[in-house]
Structure 1
Amino acid sequence: MSQTRSNAYIIEIHDRAAGIVTKDARGFRFFSSERLFDRLEGRQFRSAREAERAARAVFAERGRRLS
């Protein structure tokens, strides 16, 4: 039996759906599902993990601004 890899992944940060990334020929493209993460909209990443790190950084920055 062969394994099939997904071409789309949901990025969740602290139980919030930040967005999804979809795989294409150049890497992974981010699509925001929440206004907080809109600045990542359309950005290309080398991996889904890199997109997740970027979303975590956006979330952490929001927390620093509120402190």
Structure 2
Amino acid sequence: MFQAYVIEVSNRTAGIVVSEERGVRFFSSERAFDSLDGGHFGSARAAERAVRALIEQRRQVRH
């Protein structure tokens, strides 16, 4: 049976992760996170870290 979890960071819903045999797959819900769409991660926490890293990277580019 598959499980799905919402990934929210800084009051933004980045997407969902759906469990797979060996980890989770990320599906973006905002264009800002499309670069991660379809990505495979070892856990929901790993996907969340990737979302946070992407947000931080974009903050640094803007400054």
Aligning the two structures, in what range does the TM-score lie when normalised by the shorter sequence? over 0.9
Give the TM-score of the pair, scaled to structure 2: 0.93
| Structure 1 unpaired stretches of 5+ | 1-5
Question: Which runs of at least 4 in structure 1 moved beyond 6 Å after TM superposition?
Answer: none
Identify the residue that residue 7 of structure 1 maps to in structure 2.
Answer: 3
RMSD between aligned residues: 1.1
**Secondary structure, in 3 states, of the residue corresponding to 1:54?**
helix
Q: Tell me how far apart the structure 1 counterparts of residues 58 and 9 of structure 2 sit (CA, whole Å).
A: 12
Q: Is 1:33 the counterpart of 2:23 in the alignment?
A: no
The one-character-per-residue Cα deviations of 1:34-58 (angstroms, maximum 9, x if unpaired) are: 1111000000000000000000000
| Structure 2 unpaired stretches of 5+ | none
Identity %: 53
| Greater Cα radius of gyration, structure 1 or 2 | 1
Give the TM-score of the pair, scaled to structure 1: 0.88
Aligned residues: 62
